[in-house]
Structure 1
Amino acid sequence: MLERRLVLLKGILESEEVYLRELETLLTPMKALRASAGTSQPVLSSRQVQTVFYQVPEIRDMHQSFYSGLKARLTKPGPGKDGEKNYTGFDLMVGDLFLKMVNQIGLYGGFIGNYENAVEVVRRCTLSDPRFRTLAQSMMSRNGSNKTLTKYTFEALLYKPLDRVTKTTLVLHDLLKTTPEEHKDYSFLQEALRLSRSFLSGINESSQCKREVTLSHGMRRKLMRDGFVVDVSEGERSLRHLFLYTDLLLCTKHKHATKGKQEQYRFCWFLPLAGLKLRWVAHQERPPDTHLRVHTARTKMHLHRQQLRQHTNGPRGIALAARSRKKLEQMELTLFTHSPLYTLELHSPSGKSHTLLLSSLSELEEWREVIDKLTKDNIETVPPDLLTLTSACVKLRMTQQPPLHSTHAEDERSLCGTLSVAVHSACGLQQPASVYACVEVDGYEFYDKQAQTHSSVHSLNPHWDQELCFQVDGAQELRLLCVSESGGQHHTVLGRASVKV
């Protein structure tokens, strides 16, 4: 645990170094722009300069202080042989540094509140002034271990603090997980995480209006739900990020961040919710080629998982473990795309249709419920500005990445082995029906995670007395759904619940 903590701290230090260089690059033209503001031909006015760089120097100073403190702690000579570095054990304390930084995190509040205004000034001046355009499109920073020059746009650099503050909570969460409870840092990190979460929660509430777009006479377009699904087009399966707004569904392709470019979304399609019809198709058998692909991916995942458990000690072991984890994530992503068996068909009055695949009936039902509730309202769709709407997805999203089990740290409460579930009977139906119980488990994708009972006879009190068995690894939750069969493939979920295992 302490070795993982050390690796994480070194990663944080490297990340801080890159972030500080980016902030320095962003601040480089500030002095010249201020000087220009007092001339007869200013590039930006004094007020615009203040808007563009608002709180950036203070944020830079805060992170410089944190970086210097963390670097000093990680390179402090220890009592070891020949004055070797004291990287290990309970002596390395950094919690106070994180707490000090988080106590100043309010600086980001001013930056976030001003962000839209700063971007607007940059965009407007980029279009109107060739001098500023040249500056805004070619800002250079030395990044990476070899300090290679990376080209940024002014706008991409302005986004960096926004991205950084959301990652602070994730970093603190990971660090707390690798810090033993008896470590002196534990209480410091707990408090820092609490403050960070509290700050983000306040920011999310105050920026809720940023998720809304005016439709007409007081109506607002608001993000209701988002998540990763599989989109099927001409037999091809593609991983997509789906955004559900008050009046429409937007399907996008997620593009990961690359050097000098922030992550972004590409538009795929959209459907207005007005008149939208939904139909879900029950559990389907996989085609033989897909079945083989899924089986191969599961086998590889199992091997990488075993390797991950073996490589725990020493620098070489940690490096091998990181490689195995990366391969495990890639395989799980392949499975996420090719293993889903539940189909959700979307039919628009305009004649447009799209087919989505989901891994779990429980998740499908959650999507269906929210869409069904929205379509019952008397909604009006104003044709969206698709470019603006898609560009805003990075800021609006509530889901950062697909729900991959391999990205989470191991939880001691999760179960491995054979899980047996006996399904006896059900009561409380409003009218007689033929129903079956669908049972789903979470955890790694090595094995099938869904099973269902046979259909009961037409009655008010169905009985099955049937046992379902699952091979599980990392299971923590069991989901139960009661489904009514009314001929053909038309099935209806009558009720659902989850149980911690």
Structure 2
Amino acid sequence: MFQPMKPLKATATTSQPVLTIQQIETIFYKIQDIYEIHKEFYDNLCPKVQQWDSQVTMGHLFQKLASQLGVYKAFVDNYKVALETAEKCSQSNNQFQKISEELKVKGPKDSKDSHTSVTMEALLYKPIDRVTRSTLVLHDLLKHTPVDHPDYPLLQDALRISQNFLSSINEDIDPRRTAVTTPKGETRQLVKDGFLVEVSESSRKLRHVFLFTDVLLCAKLKKTSAGKHQQYDCKWYIPLADLVFPSPEESEASPQVHPFPDHELEDMKMKISALKSEIQKEKANKGQSRAIERLKKKMFENEFLLLLNSPTIPFRIHNRNGKSYLFLLSSDYERSEWREAIQKLQKKDLQAFVLSSVELQVLTGSCFKLRTVHNIPVTSNKDDDESPGLYGFLHVIVHSAKGFKQSANLYCTLEVDSFGYFVSKAKTRVFRDTTEPKWDEEFEIELEGSQSLRILCYEKCYDKTKVNKDNNEIVDKIMGKGQIQLDPQTVESKNWHTDVIEMNGIKVEFSMKFTSRDMSLKRTPSKKQTGVFGVKISVVTKRERSKVPYIVRQCIEEVEKRGIEEVGIYRISGVATDIQALKAVFDANNKDILLMLSDMDINAIAGTLKLYFRELPEPLLTDRLYPAFMEGIALSDPAAKENCMMHLLRSLPDPNLITFLFLLEHLKRVAEKEPINKMSLHNLATVFGPTLLRPSEVESKAHLTSAADIWSHDVMAQVQVLLYYLQHPPISFAELKRNTLYFSTDV
């Protein structure tokens, strides 16, 4: 701002002034002071950064900078007058108009000649923009400053001052904001915005939804040619005075939106993981940027499809004067956030109105500048240096909750983000009729690039009349919800880390620890010859004089008895403490096994079966044959593939083969109930493939380079191997062996 100011000042005292001194002082008001504040800040900060070590403190510099924001307030208060003065001078003075349309300003220091051009209006907005940007910088600094560092409280204080300052000036800063006023003459502000999937004419469309102080606007980004300024197109709007939420049981039976088949969603995830690995490889090998761009484009397409097709939770909005709109969200958390934000605004005295086409145009035009969510939430939009999130297993114990006003039936669910959206991963049991539930339940949650964990606390509703017509489920009431960042440093320590999450007056206590994927991939052979977990399958069947281990038979029998119609059987994780209890009982060959099985939650039994196969010292389909299975599944000629895959089964030791065929038939029976339990053959292959095939440590080292590669490339092949056998017509042991051995009936 000094650059245009100096020459203008110089001419002001000549016989041909472009502007008078007073006009210059109005337009460039307080610029000298703002400059000096920043110069002092910069001069103090620079040496600290150059002689950097983690003991250096500089929070006080940021705190001081924040406390001098009053100078900006003076600039902001004068901002409109400055703009008007510049505008008037432009109209009356040709020379100044030329200058103010293309001001040359210095670019970054490193580049010699990088002068960029800006307009006077854009230049005057920069100091205001600076406050917003400093606030974002403080956010980032806090994110990367250890909580116990002496700078932490100082940065927090600076952020608090900046945020308060911002919210105090937000209303009167930006003429672009105040151009839009509500029918009552107040400033209309943007409260919340985000990308949601709308169901319109029975198909899914991605929309950007904007919630203003008095209206909800649903827009989509217009397609524009490269370099053109992007714009929004308004699809519909509802004044908040006319907006109602139909209760789930009222919502009219809408055209049914078919959920996207799970196995296709899993396929997309696999593709995305594979593309991610390819991009990393290309980068490591200094590949061509065009090849990387092509892969990124492909990845974006898959991620976009996943984002569009994965949400299933209905969020319905109704206009009192007519139409209903339906959004699908991936999480109950988002749904209640939108609902709460709207209901909070509706507590004010709102008026109904109709926007003229010009008003609507101005409002939609402001969306682009005001939006807070800029990118579709897919990972290919992220910068490379952003945290890739955590891959592996998060162990969470939900201990207890306090702060309920009256007794209720309470439970919690856990969600983590994965591939750009949130998924529900676990659910505690319902603790009945209490104000202080004590669950003490442990869950193992698989993380796929996750950065946040959410906990939602619900009151269970047993009233059969409160059924949601959209998805035929009884509606439970959210009592509280909270979210925490999964910070690799805190989570990756070997020990449990206990924390409390506060949500509208309710406190939930939980603990968590994280096991990285490389660790969780290890098979550890057991030294013990007793028990069944971690012991070779041949040793167990010999000791039991059985064809199929007792644990496998009992778990499968119980699942077929009462879990075959359970939604997400084998996919939803059981309570870890229950699984450990069952493991101990089977290992001790306790006579109470059957009694305990009949009482146990069915997901824990399914989890015990998976754990048994996961802990085998070598995979059920053996280390020796693993390379051959990988080659066989890659064959393209169907006859050759059939030959090879059957020959491989024949080559398995008898106990492995008989157990595998026994499990195979069971999984096929589970998949027959897919309309009810939502578990397709593909879903089951995804759950069991790696468990039955993943090689032991030695084997996997020989095969692949890094844990990430093991994961993305090999997991796909492991899933395909199991899927091949699941889709194959029944395979009998006798036929395979073509000899006198017959498949005994007691198995």
Query: TM-score, length-normalised on structure 1?
Result: 0.63
Amino acid at match of 1:58: D
- Superposed displacement of residue 141, structure 1: 3.9
Q: Which runs of 5+ in 2 are unaligned?
A: 250-255, 435-440, 483-500, 502-509, 513-747
| CA distance, structure 2, for counterparts of residue 164 and residue 264 of structure 1 | 24
Indicate if the aligned counterparts of 2:239 and 2:353 stay in contact, CA closer than 8 A: no
**Root mean square deviation, CA, Å:** 6.0
> Does 1:136 find its partner at 2:104?
no
Q: Deviations over 1:107-128 (max 9, x none)?
A: 3333333333333444555566
Where do residues 393-432 of structure 1 align in structure 2 (5 Å cutoff)? Answer: 393=367, 416-417=392-393
| Residues 1:266 and 1:446: Cα distance change in structure 2 (over 3 Å) | closer
Question: Corresponding residue for 1:346?
Answer: 317
Indicate if the aligned counterparts of 1:429 and 1:460 stay in contact, CA closer than 8 A: no
| Residues 1:100 and 1:276: Cα distance change in structure 2 (over 3 Å) | closer
- Where 2:317 maps in the other structure, the secondary structure is strand
| CA distance, structure 1, for counterparts of residue 257 and residue 395 of structure 2 | 23
Question: Corresponding residue for 1:287?
Answer: 260
| CA distance, structure 2, for counterparts of residue 48 and residue 264 of structure 1 | 35
> Does 1:202 find its partner at 2:164?
yes
Where do residues 359-374 of structure 1 align in structure 2 (5 Å cutoff)? Answer: 359-372=330-343, 374=345
Question: Corresponding residue for 1:489?
Answer: 469
| CA distance, structure 2, for counterparts of residue 270 and residue 97 of structure 1 | 46
Q: Which runs of 5+ in 1 are unaligned?
A: 1-22, 77-87
Question: Corresponding residue for 1:242?
Answer: 210
- Where 1:274 maps in the other structure, the secondary structure is helix
Q: Deviations over 1:285-337 (max 9, x none)?
A: 5335x973x545533665688899999x9xx9xx9xxx9xx999998677545
Question: Corresponding residue for 2:418?
Answer: 444
| CA distance, structure 2, for counterparts of residue 138 and residue 237 of structure 1 | 41
Q: Deviations over 1:254-309 (max 9, x none)?
A: 79xxx999998765543222322435879975335x973x5455336656888999
- Where 1:90 maps in the other structure, the secondary structure is coil
| CA distance, structure 2, for counterparts of residue 194 and residue 230 of structure 1 | 36
- Superposed displacement of residue 417, structure 1: 0.9
Question: Corresponding residue for 1:12?
Answer: none
| CA distance, structure 2, for counterparts of residue 146 and residue 279 of structure 1 | 62
Aligned counterpart for 1:119 among listed residues 61, 83, 91: 83
Where do residues 235-314 of structure 1 align in structure 2 (5 Å cutoff)? Answer: 235=203, 237-245=205-213, 247-252=214-219, 269-279=236-246, 286-288=259-261, 292=264, 294-295=265-266, 298-299=269-270, 302=273
Q: Deviations over 1:42-97 (max 9, x none)?
A: 765544432322233433444455556666666x6xxxxxxxxxxx8628958379
Amino acid at match of 1:244: F
Indicate if the aligned counterparts of 1:362 and 1:496 stay in contact, CA closer than 8 A: no
| CA distance, structure 2, for counterparts of residue 208 and residue 411 of structure 1 | 34
- Where 2:352 maps in the other structure, the secondary structure is coil
| CA distance, structure 1, for counterparts of residue 52 and residue 423 of structure 2 | 40
Q: Deviations over 1:348-391 (max 9, x none)?
A: 35555544332211211222234345457652135553454445
| Residues 1:392 and 1:225: Cα distance change in structure 2 (over 3 Å) | same
| CA distance, structure 2, for counterparts of residue 89 and residue 305 of structure 1 | 34
- Hey, which of these two has a bigger chunk of strand by percent? 1
Where do residues 447-462 of structure 1 align in structure 2 (5 Å cutoff)? Answer: 449-450=423-424
Question: Corresponding residue for 1:229?
Answer: 196
> Does 1:479 find its partner at 2:456?
yes
Aligned-residue identity in percent: 26
- Superposed displacement of residue 200, structure 1: 1.5
| CA distance, structure 1, for counterparts of residue 83 and residue 41 of structure 2 | 27
Q: Deviations over 1:126-170 (max 9, x none)?
A: 566554443333234454758555442222222222222222233
Indicate if the aligned counterparts of 2:190 and 2:370 stay in contact, CA closer than 8 A: yes
Indicate if the aligned counterparts of 1:281 and 1:343 stay in contact, CA closer than 8 A: no
- Where 2:53 maps in the other structure, the secondary structure is helix
Indicate if the aligned counterparts of 1:69 and 1:97 stay in contact, CA closer than 8 A: no
> Does 1:95 find its partner at 2:77?
no
Question: Corresponding residue for 2:623?
Answer: none
Indicate if the aligned counterparts of 1:301 and 1:446 stay in contact, CA closer than 8 A: no
| CA distance, structure 1, for counterparts of residue 307 and residue 447 of structure 2 | 17
> Does 1:28 find its partner at 2:4?
yes
Question: Corresponding residue for 2:643?
Answer: none
- Where 2:217 maps in the other structure, the secondary structure is strand
| Residues 1:284 and 1:260: Cα distance change in structure 2 (over 3 Å) | closer
| CA distance, structure 2, for counterparts of residue 445 and residue 337 of structure 1 | 12
Question: Corresponding residue for 1:52?
Answer: 27
| Residues 1:445 and 1:194: Cα distance change in structure 2 (over 3 Å) | same
Tell me which structure has the larger Cα radius of gyration. Answer: 2
Indicate if the aligned counterparts of 2:416 and 2:422 stay in contact, CA closer than 8 A: no
Aligned length: 446
Indicate if the aligned counterparts of 2:197 and 2:327 stay in contact, CA closer than 8 A: yes
- Superposed displacement of residue 249, structure 1: 0.9
| CA distance, structure 1, for counterparts of residue 118 and residue 342 of structure 2 | 39
Indicate if the aligned counterparts of 2:417 and 2:453 stay in contact, CA closer than 8 A: yes
| Residues 1:374 and 1:63: Cα distance change in structure 2 (over 3 Å) | closer
- Where 1:368 maps in the other structure, the secondary structure is helix
| CA distance, structure 2, for counterparts of residue 104 and residue 398 of structure 1 | 26
